[in-house]
Structure 1
Amino acid sequence: MTDTPARTASRTAIVTGAARGIGAAVAKRLAADGFAVAVVDLDAENCGDTVTAITEAGGTAAAFGADVSDADQVTAAVEAIVERLGPPTVLINNAGITRDNLLFKMTEQDWDMVLGVHLRGSFLMTRAVQKYMVDAKWGRIVNLSSTSALGNRGQANYSAAKAGMQGFTKTLAIELGKFGVTANAIAPGFIETEMTAQTAERMGVSFEDFKKGAAAMTPVNRVGQPEDIAATASFFVREEAGFVSGQVIYVAGGPRD
């Protein structure tokens, strides 16, 4: 019996923004699923907790530092990942930042930084990794969008970036599908992370009250956890999900238009 491309493809996954929060949870889940995981963040030293959690659980992981919005750093990081862990056939574009403000207060730098990390970063990472997927005739790309893609006060930059991630995802699905590569997006709702805690602090609200307010507006009556997103990413990268591509799944505790 001849091996299928999926059986012979490298079991190496890259997760960006994986030092903490959603990225860390996804990295741990993929490691538990059997992938060797490249834990990528701005500073490799910040990835220590994620790597340690994976290795202590019996998985394989290594930390890599890169500014995903810098083409040279992305190229260098991917080359290092290939050398250490093998050719990547799974990419989770999770790295992101916020620079929230109302439009009339938002600076050009606020706009450029957010679009740079989310959109330019995902483009650069995907461009650098796709050749390994094409060579393997199998690959999985998962991009992190957000419910903010539908619009959110004080987040013109973030909303534009997250909406852009959806168009980027659908285009990747069209271009790469014939090579056995799928591309899908996850759009989280309110997830309990350091980022949402910082938002509460910036608004002058206690994090507990902030979470209670978010839960009250969510049909399942709770806020999300990073593991909720990790479970969805785990589904998208499975062999069984090979006929699911170009989709945006809102993991938000209720429907989103």
Structure 2
Amino acid sequence: MSRSVLITGGNHGIGHAAACAFLRRGDHVAFTHYTESASFDLVHDGALPVYCDITDPEQVESAFKEVEADQGPVEVLVINAGITRDNPLRTPEQDFDAVLGAPLTASYRLARRAARDMLKAKRGRIILVPSAIGLKDAAQPDYAASMAGLADFGRSLAREIGHSTVTVSIVTPGPTGTAMAGDVPLGQIGTPEEIASAIAILVGEEAAFDTGVRVPVGGGISMGH
């Protein structure tokens, strides 16, 4: 049975691969884009492009209304958010606040809005996709803190809303795409499609009893956490 899916940051990378995976499953897929035009291939395949700056509460509300009008209430939400401004302790305080706070606040905003209908329906899936960098001692304190915060937010949210059989899961990808693979135990970087496959599993019927779980998909880069 097809579901209404919303993916943030679906224009490229992991978000794009996830959108493709859901389209192949026959789901109704919407994806947000902001800094560039909507992905042509996703639109061609039937996905709904939604222009949205997820750090803007009014745009988030407008995006949900657009999705609901086209494909019904969101039943699967994939939050694929994060920004970097790498400059360790030389980072201006306002940049640190942006890297730390924007993804966390935006994720809270998105999850809260989606959960409103999910809780009424007593079903739904929320997937958070924080990078595995939050589990490593990398020289990116602002980004690492943000990603670790997203993972903890997901686990706490799972406990809070689990009574309504709405599940929340966390997928932590390691280096993907063109990232360097030197620190990855498997000696190779992952692909967005490999991350998307984990997301697809966690929203399938076979994972209906899984919530609050963190699934690392990073070639062993986060082993031991």
TM-score normalised by L of structure 1: 0.82
Number of paired residues?
Answer: 223
Which whole-Å CA distance do the structure 1 matches of 2:143 and 2:195 have between them? 19
**Shift in Å at residue 18 of structure 1?**
0.8
Which whole-Å CA distance do the structure 1 matches of 2:183 and 2:92 have between them? 31
Q: Deviations over 1:186-220 (max 9, x none)?
A: 11111115xx4xxxxxxxxxxxxxx3xx1x43232
Greater C-alpha Rg:
1
User: Taking every aligned residue pair, what percent have the same amino acid on both sides?
Assistant: 36
Q: Secondary structure at the match of 2:31?
A: strand
Which whole-Å CA distance do the structure 2 matches of 1:32 and 1:108 have between them? 43
Which whole-Å CA distance do the structure 1 matches of 2:158 and 2:174 have between them? 23
Does the 8 Å contact 1:39/1:50 carry over to 2? no
Q: Equivalent residue for 1:97?
A: 83
Q: Deviations over 1:135-190 (max 9, x none)?
A: 22111010011221124433111111100011111111111111110001011111
Q: Equivalent residue for 1:253?
A: 219
Does the 8 Å contact 1:69/1:116 carry over to 2? no
The structure where helix makes up a greater share of residues is 1
Q: Equivalent residue for 1:204?
A: none
Which whole-Å CA distance do the structure 1 matches of 2:224 and 2:141 have between them? 19
Which whole-Å CA distance do the structure 1 matches of 2:70 and 2:214 have between them? 32
Q: 2:55 aligns with which of 69, 73, 78?
A: 69
More off after superposition, 151-160 vs 173-182: 151-160
Q: Equivalent residue for 2:191?
A: 225
RMSD: 1.7
Q: Deviations over 1:71-123 (max 9, x none)?
A: 111111111110112111100000222111111x1112221222243111111
Q: Equivalent residue for 1:207?
A: none
Which whole-Å CA distance do the structure 1 matches of 2:39 and 2:184 have between them? 34
**2:116 is equivalent to residue 131 of structure 1:** yes
Which whole-Å CA distance do the structure 2 matches of 1:232 and 1:71 have between them? 29
Q: Secondary structure at the match of 2:50?
A: strand
Q: Secondary structure at the match of 2:171?
A: strand
**2:46 is equivalent to residue 46 of structure 1:** no
Q: Deviations over 1:39-62 (max 9, x none)?
A: 11225x622335235x1xxxx311
Does the 8 Å contact 1:102/1:153 carry over to 2? no
**2:154 is equivalent to residue 175 of structure 1:** no
Unpaired runs of 5+ residues, structure 1, are 1-6, 197-210
Q: Secondary structure at the match of 1:47?
A: coil
Which whole-Å CA distance do the structure 2 matches of 1:29 and 1:16 have between them? 14
Q: 1:32 aligns with which of 13, 24, 31?
A: 24
Unpaired runs of 5+ residues, structure 2, are none
The amino acid that maps onto 1:176 is I
**Shift in Å at residue 256 of structure 1?**
4.1
Q: Secondary structure at the match of 1:223?
A: coil
Counterpart mapping for 1:147-158 below 5 A: 147-158=132-143
